[in-house]
Chains A and B, each alone.
Chain A
Amino acid sequence: MPLKKRYAMSTDHTPSDDKALKANTPTAHDEAPMGDVDAERRAFLINTTAAFGVAGAACVAVPFLRSLAPSRATQAMATTDVALSEIPEGEFRTFLWQGKPVFIWHRNAEQIAKARAQDATSTTDPQPDAERVKNDTWLVVLGICSHLGCVPMQGGDADGWRCPCHGSQFDLSGRVVHGPAGKNLEVPPYAFLDDNTIRIG
């Protein structure tokens, strides 16, 4: 028995059956012939139900996707307070903020002067040192290489940092002086709570 015949609504298979079958299996794309009230009503109901159902399903996806966002506990821990007295003059220390390393450099007068002078050499992503600090003494940058996310080490030709992964170099203001990185080390949002405390985030 031809397979198609089993789906047919009548026992005798005549050419008209194909048409009858088609009429009996409406789809959402059914076009209602003008004046056919039944078909119009059917198409309207099918489309409304489908649209309503799809909209509902889309709304259900929202809580599932939102559940993957940082939790309330993570959000509550989104800031880090740093006591600046921990950092000896002329050196930097690394702190953890939102799971990422932050370098805070306690610059001495000589290093500040040098960073200012390096304004001239930071040509890849030019930005004056004055715009990158809130207080000349304290440089706060994310310890994440703007190339592929490694943590740079102290060193390099510009007395700042060099990245162990691909050799990018940064100066005393965290600006890139040698590729492959194309951007300076990012300055995170931070504020001085008092003379001795910085809140990052």
Chain B
Amino acid sequence: MSSHFTPPQPVENDIRNFGRWFEDRLPIASFIGDHLGKYPTPRNLNYMWNFGSLAGIALILQIITGLFLAMHYKGDIHLAFDSVQTIMRDIEWGWVIRNMHMVGASFFFIVVYIHIGRGLYFGSYKSPREVLWGLGIVIFLLMMATAFMGYVLPWGQMSYWGATVITNLLSVIPFVGPDIVIWLWGGYSVGDPTLSRFYAIHFVLPFVIVGVVILHIWALHLHKSNNPLGIDLKKADDYIPFHPYYTIKDIFGLGVYLIPFTFMVFFAPDYLGHPDNYIPANPLVTPAHIVPEWYFLPFYAILRAIPIKELGVLAMFGSILILFVLPWLDRSPVRSARFRPLYKQLFWLFVVNFLILGWVGAKPAEGMYVTIAQICTALYFGFFALLPVLAKVEKPRPLPATL
């Protein structure tokens, strides 16, 4: 918010004026004040708008717990599994930090899925917020890469075979695929070089995410938040300052979020994991049921739905990349689904379909499950294919002029 030029006001170099003196040289306090304190926020945001700041908090928690785990973890195939057990047994409170990191990853994804769903429902991806939306998808992709590599680090059976299966996806790249996979592994199979580089990348990617989050917030603050009505707010009293209104609302939301989170950390830390990952990695035996972490399941289902390997991989990556062009697929001038009767139904169908994809992704790829996965994959892409047509047939309900 530097649109107003304030001529420098010389401040006497005196310890009593330290605050003003420093601010005159680096106005960091007013920068934070403008972006956290005074940021004009629509006053009609509902609780769905809590999930953005929750995602930020989840990211920070992952970075802090991860940092403390990294101080004890060993990124070597002979030591990795044992070092996790050292954290669980010998390091004081190590178990709480590891459980927080483990459960935190899942909860981060829950929050981000709701955050994306909110954007979809209220049309937050539409002009002028296309870049804001695109940066969000970049964050989502970076999160997936980070989570995938993090899951390899405990070096259990699921770590090893998950890494093998997912890296093998790249072998579909024409001509150079198999060489790229070997290059990625640093060997002829997933092994010590793979673990070391995954550890290094897993450590650094969250900071890249922080960087993209800053861009994401920058883009947000330029055109301000969307709102449940999806209309452009013109009047000054449509906005209220972020602090204290949304700080306290976000703090309340954080409390609500932390209750199930804490419950999982203390009473069901392994619930979202796989027992097989407590068996040390064994390159000679693949577990009977190999399933990715739950947050990858819908995309995993799309991958397996298509019997041709190359097409399956394309469909899986395409299912995420298509989100980038969503702002141009959806031609309707109306943002919020509240005023779009057809889109609203389509949105809920899309959500249910996505959940079914997740469910079928956990099932063995045989018989009826394959058929379900294929139908759901078709519906997934059908949603996006319908959007350009929808704008032509749909009659939006009248929009309010103001709040």
Contact = CB atoms under 8 A, between A and B. Distances in A.
A contacting B, Cβ–Cβ less than 8 Å:
yes
Contacts of A69: 92
B240 A63 contact: no
B86 interface: yes
Interface stretch (B93-101, B125-133, B310-318): B93-101
Interface in B215-251: 235-237, 239-241, 243-244, 251
Interface string A61-81: 011101111011110000000
Nearest to A27: B244
A146 B241 CA distance: 59
B91 A71 contact: yes
A67 B91 contact: yes
B61 to A, nearest CB: 10
A5 B237 CA distance: 9
Contacts of B40: 6-7
A53 interface: yes
Contact of A7 (B3, B240, B251): B240
B90 interface: yes
Given A8-B236, A67-B92, A71-B92, A26 B97 contact: no
Nearest to B38: A7
A121 B287 CA distance: 73
A135 interface: no
Interface string A1-24: 101011111110000000000001
Contacts of A26: 244
B235 A64 contact: no
Contact of B237 (A9, A49, A53): A9
Contact of A25 (B68, B236, B241, B251): B241
B15 to A, nearest CB: 23
Interface residues of B, number: 27
A67 B93 contact: yes
A53 B251 contact: yes
B204 to A, nearest CB: 21
B309 interface: no
Interface string B14-26: 0000000000000
B89 interface: yes
Contacts of B243: 25
A34 to B, nearest CB: 23
Given A3-B3, A7-B38, A11-B235, A72 B92 contact: yes
Contacts of B240: 7, 9, 24
A3 B86 CA distance: 55
14 contacts: A1-B236, A5-B236, A7-B38, A7-B241, A9-B240, A25-B243, A25-B244, A63-B92, A63-B97, A64-B97, A67-B68, A71-B72, A72-B91, A74-B90
Nearest to B98: A67
Interface in A89-103: none
Nearest to A53: B251
Among A3, A6, A74, chain B packs the most CB atoms within 10 A around the CB of A6
A63 B241 contact: no
Interface of B: 1, 3-4, 38, 40, 64, 68, 71-72, 86, 89-94, 96-97, 235-237, 239-241, 243-244, 251
Nearest to A8: B236
A62 B64 CA distance: 13
A11 B236 contact: yes
B277 to A, nearest CB: 22
A184 to B, nearest CB: 34
Contacts of A67: 68, 71-72, 91-94, 97
Contacts of A63: 92-93, 96-97
Nearest to A45: B248
B60 to A, nearest CB: 12
A66 B86 CA distance: 15
A67 B64 CA distance: 13
B68 A64 contact: yes
A73 B92 contact: no
Contacts of B3: 3
A11 B93 CA distance: 54
A71 B86 CA distance: 9
Nearest to B224: A6
Interface in A178-197: none
A70 to B, nearest CB: 9
Contacts of B68: 64, 67-68
Contacts of B92: 63, 66-67, 69, 71-72
Nearest to B71: A68
A57 B189 CA distance: 44
Contacts of B90: 71-74
B185 to A, nearest CB: 32
A26 B240 CA distance: 13
B219 to A, nearest CB: 19
A174 to B, nearest CB: 34
Nearest to B69: A67
Contacts of A66: 92-93
A9 B237 CA distance: 5
A24 B244 CA distance: 9
A5 B72 CA distance: 52
Contacts of A73: 86, 90
Nearest to B34: A3
Given A63-B92, A71-B94, 5 more contacts: A24-B240, A63-B97, A67-B72, A67-B94, A72-B92
